[in-house]
Chain A
Amino acid sequence: MQVASSLREALITGGKTVKDVSHDISRHVENKPTKLWWAAMAISVAVMAYGFYCLCYLLWEGVGVWGLNKTVGWAWDITNFVWWVGIGHAGTLISAILLLFRQRWRMSINRAAEAMTIFAVICAATFPFAHMGRLWLGFYWVFPLPNTWGSLWANFNSPLLWDVFAISTYFTVSLVFWYMGLIPDFAVIRDRAVVQGAKIRAQVYNALSFGWQGGAKTWMRYESVALILAGLSTPLVLSVHTIVSMDFATSVIPGWHTTIFPPYFVAGAIFSGFAMVLTLLLITRKVFKLEDYITIYHIELMNIIIIITGSIVGIAYITELFIAWYSGVEYEGYAFYNRVSGPFAWSYWSMMTCNVISPQLFWVKKIRTSLVATFVLSIIVNIGMWFERFVIIVTSLHRDYIPSSWTMFSPTMYDIGEYLFTFGFFFTAFLLFAKFFPVINMAEVKSIVKVASLEKKEDASH
């Protein structure tokens, strides 16, 4: 028996039927792309092309074209890497953790959020690979492959190697999870293509759907696969940013050498991930007219997650400051004194404003249900999260143990160009996804749409 709660707001509005769901989502795949799509695509590809030039120049010339120096050996590259990996966290959190917690509101947003995860992880991976300078040798350095040096194996004691395994596993499992979700929806597009007489589309989407039929036994197996993938992805999503934080936390650099890093990084990752999901979905829902599927209620719930994770991040910042003083370790104390009042203090205070103060505005219901405010704040949060990684990496490094080594860091056009490359790639990939793949998980939404239609029937009978 289906029970429609009067306490909770409807997840799907507009009295949609199961058939409407197929139509509303599939038509974007079936229709020709709009002018707006082409315009957005042209800009993304142009940005990606410029960035690709910078990337190629870096591979040709070497890492010296970045603004790095002897003291600051990690800067924008690793900042961008951690930032993109963090953004990727929301997708798996939404699809896996919220599935285990039976949060049905995830159903309208999980597809796009998982796509975002996959593209963000690809963007992230470009930075360590570019930083290796000689890509073709990089595979021997990061994967335990037999080689002509002995074989001299990769060092499994190094957190950098753990990161290689964490990121590649995370990418693969997220991709598989996302693809499994897409299979029944590809079959919907295939069957609609057969009806519409679009033979090539029917063939392509049949191949993509692996010949999905939707028999009772297949659905049962499919659900058990989804549940176990969610169970596997849940510790995975928490482990990935934990291991990323160990890249820093297992070192002896003041400001990095702290046990608080794993939970603090995971909270920050979810915080920035949800902000990016909001940025993308607010545009997608408007352009594709999906207001009945991604409602203000969905946006409000995501904003609540932003308040929680933003507050955890804020507490982590304050704890770090407190421990730097309370521990009595001079080096740690100086690292934080330098962050707050040194030459990069502007980046520290940008981070504090964007990450700690701005999300607190969401306590006001009017702000967290406003589309414009959410859009602006989601971008501010991601700027703040970029500064967080910049502050952690650069301010800890630029004041070395010996004052004669103290330097500053400023990016070159190649640092900026590579960051632009990832943006270009990310938006190009997301636009292609939005055009060729169903942006909302139709099968899942169909399973909850009946509650909404029951309400409609009752309204009609009264």
Chain B
Amino acid sequence: MDADKHFIVGIFDDEEVLLKGIGKIRGNGVKIHDVFSPFPVHGIDDALSIKRSRLPIAAFLFGMTGTSLALLMQIWMLGYDWPMIIGGKNHASLPPFIPVTFELTVLLAALGMVGTFFIASDMKPYKWPRQFDLRSTEDKHVMAIDLAINSGKTKDELRSLLRDSGASEVNEKSFE
């Protein structure tokens, strides 16, 4: 961790107030570090201009990997490595390979996407997150504003801006 980080933390009780507040705060040229919510708030990604997640692309690519690996495995094992005549059919015929191909497609897509999610979101079991306010998982929406990034505004200006935008509480929080 680099130098000390100082944040102004605004607590919002209601998601509709929060969404309007985000608009107002960003309209004043303040950059928001992040907003922590107990449940997904619809419309917050537009309000914060968060780009759409590319996880669906990752899922598709992992799924295609699963499809290819499954087909290659089955065709190689039963068609080339040890060909067997089963029911008088071709060594490597496609129809009986469909179920396993489907299952491995789904398996790799699901595991790959979830793995990517953990990596992209930097989530790991041994990591203790920076907690701006413990109520952010319980019932409050917590907005964090990084003081270093918003050096154009004073602490008091930010405090009163948060208050005007509907925050029910404004605190300061520093991390080492």
Contacts of B48 in A (CB 8 A): 216-217
A60 to B73, CA, bound (A): 35
Contacts of A161 in B (CB 8 A): 100
> Is B137 a contact of A169 with CB atoms below 8 Å?
no
Q: Mark B25-49, 1 if CB is under 8 A from A, else 0.
A: 0000000001111111100110010
Contacts of B44 in A (CB 8 A): 216, 219-220
Q: Which of A173, A208, A212 is the one whose CB lies under 8 Å from B107? A: A173
Q: Is A155 an interface residue (CB 8 A)?
A: yes
Known: A19-B139, A157-B89, A223-B40. A236 touches B106 (CB 8 A): yes
> Is A446 a contact of B38 with CB atoms below 8 Å?
yes
> Is A214 a contact of B136 with CB atoms below 8 Å?
yes
Contacts of B50 in A (CB 8 A): 216-217, 220
> Is B38 a contact of A162 with CB atoms below 8 Å?
no
Q: Mark A191-228, 1 if CB is under 8 A from B, else 0.
A: 11011000000000011101111111111111111001
Known: A191-B138, A206-B128, A211-B128. A216 touches B120 (CB 8 A): no
Q: Which of B36, B77, B138 is the one whose CB lies under 8 Å from A215? A: B36
Q: Is A153 an interface residue (CB 8 A)?
A: yes
Contacts of B102 in A (CB 8 A): 235, 239
> Is A157 a contact of B96 with CB atoms below 8 Å?
yes
A187 to B44, CA, bound (A): 21
Most chain B Cβ neighbours within 10 Å, of A155, A169, A177 = A169
> Is B34 a contact of A17 with CB atoms below 8 Å?
no
Instruction: Name the CB-closest residue of B to A156.
Output: B74
Q: Is B23 an interface residue (CB 8 A)?
A: no
CB distance from A244 to the nearest CB of B (A): 11
The interface stretch among B78-86, B145-153, B160-168 is B78-86
> Is A221 a contact of B117 with CB atoms below 8 Å?
yes
> Interface residues of B, CB < 8 Å — how many?
62
Instruction: Name the CB-closest residue of A to B77.
Output: A153
> Interface residues of A, CB < 8 Å — how many?
66
A28 to B41, CA, bound (A): 27
Q: Which of B59, B99, B127 is the one whose CB lies under 8 Å from A243? A: B99
Q: Which of A169, A211, A216, A446 is the one whose CB lies under 8 Å from B104? A: A169
A22 to B139, CA, bound (A): 8
A229 to B99, CA, bound (A): 19
Most chain A Cβ neighbours within 10 Å, of B87, B96, B113, B137 = B137
A350 to B39, CA, bound (A): 47
A208 to B127, CA, bound (A): 11
Q: Is B17 an interface residue (CB 8 A)?
A: no
> Is A172 a contact of B96 with CB atoms below 8 Å?
no
Known: A210-B123, A214-B137. A156 touches B114 (CB 8 A): no
Q: Is A165 an interface residue (CB 8 A)?
A: yes
> Is A165 a contact of B100 with CB atoms below 8 Å?
yes
A340 to B120, CA, bound (A): 59
Instruction: Name the CB-closest residue of B to A150.
Output: B82
Mind listing 23 A-B residue pairs with CB under 8 Å? A155-B86, A157-B87, A172-B110, A176-B114, A188-B137, A191-B135, A195-B134, A206-B129, A208-B125, A210-B127, A211-B125, A211-B128, A216-B34, A217-B48, A218-B123, A219-B37, A221-B121, A225-B113, A229-B110, A235-B106, A239-B103, A442-B38, A446-B139
Q: Which 5 A-B pairs have the closest CB atoms?
A: A211-B127, A162-B99, A18-B139, A210-B123, A153-B77
B-to-A contact residues, CB < 8 Å = 15, 34-41, 44-45, 48, 50, 52-53, 55-56, 59, 63, 73-74, 77-78, 81-82, 84, 86-87, 89, 96-97, 99-100, 102-104, 106-107, 109-111, 113-114, 117-118, 120-121, 123-131, 134-139
Given contacts A206-B125, A213-B136, A214-B36, 13 further A-B contacts (CB under 8 A): A17-B139, A153-B81, A155-B86, A157-B89, A165-B103, A169-B107, A177-B110, A184-B38, A206-B129, A207-B126, A216-B44, A225-B114, A228-B113
